[in-house]
Structure formats: C-alpha cells, structure tokens
C-alpha cells in the first residue's frame, strides 16, 4: 500500500520495521526480492539479524537522564542522532524522486546521508537537497579519468567526503529476485556515469581475467587517497588488519559492513567483527557500521559494540517505497524515538554513556571478542 499523508503513515507504521511489511505488500514481488535479498544462500543476510538478537540490554535504575541527547558531531556538523542514510543504488525503482526524496528526509531529520555512484538522480541534484553532512559513495571505475571526474564533481557539488566501497568488486543479485525473473538492467540507468565508459567487463572474460584484473588494489586506493582534495572513507571493512592498513594509509574513517549481506555470502555479521576492529584502530578513529539495523535498539547495540554511528540501507528504501520523503522522515522519527527510549531505560544520558557494560551477552556468545 502506498501511503502519502502523515496521518496515513502514522496509522499504519508504528515502528521502523513496519515499513518492511508495508513495502512487501505494495511492491512487485521481483523488485521486493531484489531489495530485500542477499547474495548466495543468504547466510550473511540471516546472520546480520541473528547477531543483533543474540545481544540483550542491561536495564539500569535511577540515573538522571533528564537532559539526555543523542547528538553527535561528525564533519563539524551536529547530527540529531548517530545515523546516516547508506548509499542505496537506483532509488527511482521505488519512487520517482528517488535519492532527492531520501536526501530531503535526512535533512529534515537532522542526520547525514551518503549518495551512491549508482544513484538514479545526478549527484549534483541530490547535493542540493541533502543535509550539511553529505558524502559521495564511489565505486572505482576502470577508467582513471572517470574516477577523477567523479571526485571533482563531488567536491564541486559540496560533498564533505568520498566514501569508496571496496567489498563488491563482484556482485551477485539475489537468487530469489532472479528466480522471479527480475532483471535490474532493464529498469535503471546510472545517470552519474552517463558520460563515461562504465561497462566493467566489456569482453565477457572470466572472473579472474576480467573483473578482478581491473579491480582496485592497495596501490590504486593509495593514489586516490592522495589525490582526493576531500577526506576519503572506505566502506566494506570486515577485518582488523585491513582496518589498520587503511588507517595507516590516511583514510578518515571506515564503515564496517558486509553490504547488508549482498557481498561475500558466509561472511559474519559486521556486529561480530566490530569489537576487534575497534580494538585494532583505537578509540579515536571514526567507525560507522551497517548491515541488519532495523530499530533503535540495534543502533544502541552497534554503538555499545564500538561504532560511532550507523547507516541504514533497507529501512530507508522500504520507507521511501511506502511513503516517499515523508515516509523516510517518519521512519527516522520512530527510529530515533526508540533509540531515546533505549538510552533512557539503560541510564544513558548521551552517546558516550553507551558502552559495552550496557549490554547483556550470554557468556558463550560474542563476549570473547569484547
Ligand atoms: C537495494 C540496495 C542497493 C545498494 N546499493 C549500494 C550502492 O550503490 N553502494 C554501496 O556502497 N552500497 C549499496 N548497498 C549497501 C548499503 O549501502 C548498506 O551497506 C546495506 O544496505 C546495509 O544493510 P541493511 O540494508 O541491512 O541496512 C545497497 C543495498 C541495497 C539493499
């Protein structure tokens, strides 16, 4: 069901996850499978939720939280909550305004947003609607001139940083979507790449001789870090050694992410590797985390496990499909209210109070990594 007015939204969505059910009932089956699905047999997709369920919270009494706040300063901007909208490709699949609508919702809600290389609205148009805390997500192209041009355009348009995604040199569309006959390329255009040759595998060569022969490596990443006039982030980090190397190379921050279970299947939930990565890079290095966040409690858990902030992928696209920009803003309102409730009942006045001692973890589970 597509909902438009704030009243309709308030009568049908009572928590952020309600948007998933509403989107499923409204969207065509193949499209919903493409959005909701993961790669391979979806083991990572399942673990992204399981890891959050394995952690519980310690209720704490009598702390004064009367002047509580979930504000966070990132890029010299104050965010109302430690949340950014993740880069999600081709948003016009679910809403004609696409990335412009999600950027508007992020701005209204006082959070940050990241626009994808594969956005269906141009990065320049999205920048005009976006909040002050805005990043451009870059999929490095085979053509250096195209990469340079994309970085220049992002700087010109006022993005504060480049977020390079490195976990999907090879990407596989959900098997469920394929079985339902969903074909992405017939429905979308990567408008940002219109002027460049962006066929990643023109000769149809095998994986190692084709895609992987052109994939970025440590050296090419190093060059882009040096050449970028604005800070560079890396998205898709899942190992402490990679995190250490990236920090040494000069990236400003990392996103611990398995691409919402859409990259390497059988990789663990990012929540499980987050504490070891935090330990490796130290407390002052900025870490974002995504994959599997569906409510305010999950945001709290991610922060307590070591993230400075989180990003939302599917929640954003479901809310966009159901209610456009107003839907995304409503979903964010519900999510931030849940985070506040969770902070109040665990006795956390601000984000720095959200630490591992607020978590109750069954001894046999994730505790060893803390
Ligand atoms: C439909 C869809 C498209 C995505 N497109 C991109 C993209 O263009 N670039 C990127 O870095 N990540 C992309 N992602 C991954 C998200 O940025 C994010 O890592 C992931 O969705 C987080 O998991 P969640 O959906 O469980 O919140 C996409 C995810 C989905 C579901």
Cβ 35 under 6 angstroms from ligand 1 = yes
Neighbours of 365 (CB within 10 A): 12
Cβ 88 under 6 angstroms from ligand 1 = yes
**In a domain? residue 66:** no
The predicted model gives 294-321 an average pLDDT of: 98
Query: ∠ CA(258), CA(131), CA(151), 5° rounding?
Result: 65
**In a domain? residue 315:** yes
Residue by residue, DSSP assigns 101-150 as HHHHHHHHHT-EEEE-TT-SS-HHHHHHHS-SSEEEEE---S-HHHHHHH
pLDDT in tens, 135-162: 999 999 989 999 999 999 999 999 999 9
DSSP designation for 309? E
200: part of which helix (H) or strand (E)? none
pLDDT in tens, 256-266: 999 999 999 99
Neighbours of 97 (CB within 10 A): 18
Q: Supply the residue whose CA is at minimum distance from atom 21 of ligand 1.
A: 313
Interatomic CA distance for residues 221 and 250, integer angstroms: 11
User: Tokens 């309102």, residue?
Assistant: 333
Atom of ligand 1 nearest to the CA of 163: 11
**In a domain? residue 1:** no
Q: What are phi and psi of 359, to 5 degrees?
A: -100, 145
Interatomic CA distance for residues 67 and 177, integer angstroms: 47
Atom of ligand 1 nearest to the CA of 118: 8
185 an active-site residue? no
Atom of ligand 1 nearest to the CA of 34: 1
DSSP designation for 196? S
Q: 59: CA distance to ligand 1 center in Å?
A: 32
Cβ 87 under 6 angstroms from ligand 1 = yes
Q: 261: CA distance to ligand 1 center in Å?
A: 9
Pairwise pLDDT comparison (327 vs 6), residue with the higher score: 327
Q: 259: CA distance to ligand 1 center in Å?
A: 5
Pairwise pLDDT comparison (3 vs 342), residue with the higher score: 342
Q: What is the pLDDT of residue 301?
A: 98
317: left (phi over 0), alpha (psi -120 to 50) or beta: alpha
Atom of ligand 1 nearest to the CA of 315: 27
Cβ 235 under 6 angstroms from ligand 1 = yes
**In a domain? residue 102:** yes
pLDDT in tens, 55-82: 999 999 999 999 999 999 998 899 999 9
DSSP designation for 233? E
Cβ 37 under 6 angstroms from ligand 1 = no
Q: 13: CA distance to ligand 1 center in Å?
A: 23
Q: 361 - beta bridge partners?
A: 55
Residue 80's domain comprises 6-61+72-197+205-211+218-369
Structural domain count of the chain: 1
**In a domain? residue 54:** yes
**In a domain? residue 67:** no
In this structure, are residues 311 and 272 in contact, taking their beta carbons and an 8 Å threshold?
Answer: no
User: For residue 185, what pLDDT band results from cuts at 50, 70 and 90?
Assistant: confident
| Residues in the chain, total | 370
% residues pLDDT > 70 (the chain): 92
Q: Supply the residue whose CA is at minimum distance from atom 19 of ligand 1.
A: 259
Q: Check pLDDT > 80 for residue 171.
A: no
CATH code, domain with 248: 3.20.20.70
- Tokens in use for 198? 């962006």
């Amino acid at each position: 069901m597509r909902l438009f007015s704030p009243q309709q939204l308030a009568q049908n969505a009572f928590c952020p996850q309600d948007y998933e059910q509403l989107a499923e009932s409204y969207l065509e089956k193949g499209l919903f499978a493409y959005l909701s699905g993961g790669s391979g047999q979806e083991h990572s997709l399942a673990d992204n939720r399981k890891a959050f369920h394995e952690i519980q919270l310690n209720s704490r009494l009598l702390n004064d939280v009367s002047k509580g706040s979930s504000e966070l300063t990132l890029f010299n901007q104050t965010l109302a909550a430690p949340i950014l909208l993740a880069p999600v490709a081709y948003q016009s699949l679910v809403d004609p305004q696409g990335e412009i609508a999600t950027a508007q919702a992020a701005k209204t809600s006082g959070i940050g947003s990241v626009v994808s290389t594969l956005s269906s609205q141009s990065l320049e148009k999205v920048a005009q609607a976006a909040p002050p805390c805005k990043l451009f997500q870059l999929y490095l192209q085979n053509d250096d001139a195209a990469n340079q041009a994309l970085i220049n355009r992002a700087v010109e348009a006022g993005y504060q940083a480049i977020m390079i995604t490195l976990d999907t040199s090879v990407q596989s569309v959900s098997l469920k979507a394929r079985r339902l006959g969903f074909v992405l390329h017939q429905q979308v255009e990567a408008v940002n790449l219109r002027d460049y040759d962006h066929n990643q595998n023109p000769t149809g060569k095998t994986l190692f001789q084709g895609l992987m022969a052109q994939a970025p490596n440590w050296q090419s990443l190093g060059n882009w870090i040096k050449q970028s006039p604005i800070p560079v982030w890396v998205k898709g980090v899942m190992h402490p050694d990679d995190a250490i190397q990236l920090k040494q190379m000069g990236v400003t921050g990392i996103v611990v992410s398995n691409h919402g279970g859409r990259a390497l299947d059988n990789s663990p939930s990012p929540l499980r590797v987050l504490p070891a990565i935090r330990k490796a890079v130290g407390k002052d290095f900025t870490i974002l985390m995504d994959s599997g966040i569906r409510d305010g409690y999950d945001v709290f858990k991610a922060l307590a496990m070591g993230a400075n902030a989180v990003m939302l992928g599917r929640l954003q696209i479901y809310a966009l499909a159901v209610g456009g920009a107003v839907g995304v803003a409503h979903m964010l309102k519900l999510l931030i209210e849940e985070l506040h409730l969770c902070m109040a009942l665990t006795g956390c006045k601000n984000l720095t109070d959200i630490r591992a001692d607020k978590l109750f973890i069954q001894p046999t589970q994730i505790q060893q990594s803390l």
